[in-house]
Amino acid sequence: MRLHLIFGAPGSGKGSLAKLVHEKFALTHLSTGDILRDSVSKGTEVGLRVKASMANGTLVDDDTVNGIVFARLQDETEDVLFDGYPRTLNQAIALDDFLSERELDFGLVVYIDVPVSVLESRIVGRRVCSNSSCGAIYHVIRKKPLVDGVCDSCKSLLVQRPDDTSLAFHARMDEFNASYGPMLEHYRGKSNFRQVDGIALPDEVFSAVSMLYEEYV
Ligand code: AMP
């Protein structure tokens, strides 16, 4: 088992990209945001604990997230693609320790780079399918559904995530700048680190990322 990381700011497109990469390269997709949202919607003990942080766009504490991730990795044998984890230097260090204790290696660490000015319009216009097992993602301008407010795939209603409002976006960006900066530096010097320009059209970003994986996987 090898671990690949894909990360970027809220609105960088990392979630959609990670889904495409995991399908194309048959990697297990592990999104901490998806797991946490699922816990909130099911009202589990973890879900009740993290509900407020999730809604206002602040990070869930490192111990909770590390606990979820390491439990998932315990029995994993396939290559895994992380989306949204690690998000802080402490999580990155905990993941390094977890891997070295088990003599496991990192695969690719891909950073999707998008300027802040572009991110807000992407986030605030994003709409997601309310059916959590579908999870399709739309945008009010960039990717409209065929029928306004209705998912093309499963016909459920489209909603705005509570952390995609303008207010929550700014909280998430403050958090991102404070926590991602040191983490980015942690990975930037490593030989498996790659930075991709995330401003291009989604297909172009995907083909740039695919080329990296074709060389590597
Ligand atoms: P995402 O879907 O990746 O944008 O994550 C949505 C929300 O889940 C974030 O705003 C955080 O509240 C929480 N979250 C997801 N992953 C992490 C993580 N690695 N560390 C802390 N909080 C996280």
Q: Write down the pLDDT at residue 144.
A: 95
Cα separation, 167 vs 56, in Å, equals: 8
Tell me: the pLDDT tens digits for 140-155? Answer: 988 999 999 999 999 9
Say if ligand 1 is within 6 A of residue 172 CB.
yes
Q: CB-side exposure of 146: number of CA atoms within 13 Å?
A: 6
pLDDT at residue 71, rounded to an integer: 92
- Convert the pLDDT of each residue in 91-144 to its tens digit: 999 999 999 998 888 899 999 999 887 999 999 999 999 998 898 999 998 899
Residue 30's pLDDT is what? 93
Q: Give CA separation, 59 vs 30, 88, 124, 168, in Å.
A: 17, 9, 19, 12
Q: Is 126 in the pocket of ligand 1 (CB under 6 A)?
A: no
DSSP 59-84: PPPHHHHHHHHHHHHHT--S-EEEES
Return d(Cα 45, Cα 50) in angstroms, integer: 9
pTM across the whole model = 0.82
Q: In terms of residue numbers, what domain contains 53?
A: 2-114+166-213
Q: How far apart are CA 30 and CA 144, in angstroms?
A: 27
Q: Is 87 a catalytic residue?
A: yes
Q: Is 173 contained in some domain? A: yes
The span from the CA of 29 to the CA of 101, in Å, is: 22
Percent of the chain with pLDDT over 70: 100
The confidence score (pLDDT) of residue 214 equals 92
Kindly report the protein residue whose alpha carbon is nearest to atom 8 of ligand 1.
33
Residue 48 is inside which H or E element, if any?
Answer: helix 45-56
User: Has residue 204 been placed in a domain?
Assistant: yes
Judge whether 62 lies within some domain: yes
| Cα separation, 35 vs 27, whole angstroms | 17
Q: Is residue 127 part of a domain?
A: no
Q: Which amino acid is at 78?
A: E
Residue labelled with tokens 């504490």? 61
129 belongs to a structural domain: no
Q: What is the CATH number of the domain that holds 55?
A: 3.40.50.300
Q: How far is the CA of 185 from the centre of ligand 1 (A)?
A: 20
Q: Evaluate: CB of 56 within 6 angstroms of ligand 1.
A: no
Is pLDDT at 51 greater than 80 in this prediction? yes
Dist. CA 94–CA 180, nearest whole Å: 15
Whether residue 90 has pLDDT greater than 90:
yes
Domain count of the fold of the chain:
1
pLDDT of residue 210: 96
CA 104 to chain centre: 22
Residue 201 binned pLDDT confidence (cut-offs 50, 70, 90): confident
Q: Would you say residue 65 lies in a domain?
A: yes
Q: Is residue 139 part of a domain?
A: no
CA dist., res. 33 & res. 211, Å (int): 26
The set of residues, in sequence order, having a beta carbon less than 8 Å from that of 158 and lying 6+ positions away, is 127, 128, 129, 130, 138, 145, 149, 150, 151
Residue 208: what pLDDT? 96
15 lies in a domain?
yes
pLDDT at 181 over 80: yes
